[in-house]
Amino acid sequence: MKTFSILYFFIGTIIVSPVMANFQTAQDTLHPEKSLYETITHIRKQNDFLNVKLNTRMAFHSAISEGDREQSAFRMDYLRLEVTGNVTERIYYKWMQHLNRSNKPNSLDNMPSSIDCLGVGFHITPTLSAFAGKQYADFGGFEYDADPAEVYSYSDIGDYITCFLVGINLSWWFTPTQEIRFQITDARSDKAEENDEIQPEGYKTAKTPLGYTINWNGNFLDERLTTRCSFSLFHEGRKQNIYFLALAAAWEQENFNMYIDGLYSVEEIDKLGILSEISGNAEQPYRATHSDYFSLVSRLNYRIFPKLNIFVKGSYETVSARSGTNLPEQGKYRTSYGYQGGIEYFPMKENLRFYLLYRGRQIDYTDRAMTFGMKNEHPQYLSLGLLYKIPIY
């Protein structure tokens, strides 16, 4: 019954939204260029030293596939406080922290997982800048590069990859449209020996577990074509490395835009952990070695009206074990097909939207994975929610 109610709302949205999308009020209640502080006090900010936003996403999620273990419920999917500012023309800071995650410090970097970003940046020259502290890992890809609140459901790699790490980066715009970024971070947030799984025979933790990333971002054809590409090497064990490649391109014109991400990870010790989850069903769980991950992700958006957007998104991903693995057999263990489609309504500006989303994922396991007790899955959901980046100050 709940599912049908959502579908009725969807039909109503389709009918009413074109009218609403073209309707312009004489004056918005909350002017998007003004913060709540400015709206209430009627005092205009005089500097850029402090900017405060609350990034939120809330939705009602309804499972529509048989046997799904998740309950239909309202859920606050995303709640992050974002504080930024310029101390001087050359020095700036960022602090981004989730309000609905654990504040327990991680054992390696001594940072709680609730903090995504905390550090200080420096504009060394007009084309050269640096940042030190906890930050986004500079992986390529447009799904990864997007505001996390705007990604309703990630691909497998996007869901499992460690996105925020402590370190330093250097950014150089060597032309007005081309940027190179170099980054050194911790390879992880916690110590490897705290992993619940049994470590592979002969595995020893790296004395200096660091990750190195080089990233290239480019704009072409009057910024219609953009690229987000990177290569990373993470030193996970004394003799085990992770090699991660991301190649991505996006196209944008008038009412239409799209991107496509190609991601490939070769892991001498299973860092993402999907393959280890499969082997974890054994009587004695252990961490897999020589894993292989491939991901192809794409999203298309079309603004049928200035305030109304429709979108589709799809992904194809595989999980395999390479030669030398400690699993019984090498070869493919898992294939997943993700798909999404929905509609977004923007009543004011980009900082507020209502959305209706249908998403599903077909997960197929090979015979070698089924020997660990794995079974094929096909979860599907309908979600109705809102996303609002509230300008507090």
Q: Report pLDDT digits (tens) over 213-234.
A: 999 999 999 989 999 999 999 9
User: Which residues of 254-378 form beta strands (DSSP E)?
Assistant: 256-269, 289-305, 308-321, 331-345, 352-365
pLDDT digits (tens, 9 = 90+) for 127-155: 999 999 999 999 999 999 999 999 999 99
55-69, 130-144, 182-196, 217-231: range with lowest mean pLDDT? 182-196
- What DSSP designation does 72 have? P
Query: In terms of C-beta density within 10 A (0-12 exposed, 13-18 middle, 19 or more buried), how is residue 135 classed?
Result: buried
Phi and psi at residue 268, to the nearest 5°: -70, -25
pLDDT computed for residue 154 by the predictor: 95
The SS3 of residue 137 is: coil
Mean pLDDT along residues 67-91? 88
- Report the range out of 94-103, 268-277, 290-299 with the highest average pLDDT: 290-299
The answer to whether residues 120 and 135 touch, using CB atoms and an 8 Å cutoff, is: no
CA distance 258 to 249: 9
State whether the Cα torsion 141-144-146-151 is positive or negative. Answer: positive
The token pair at 178 is 């081309």
Q: Whole-model pTM?
A: 0.86
Mean pLDDT of the region 305-324: 95
3-class DSSP state for residue 82? strand
Scan for tokens 């500006």, then name that residue: 349
Beta strand 289-305 with 308-321 is antiparallel
Res. 194: pLDDT tops 60? no
pLDDT of residue 23: 41
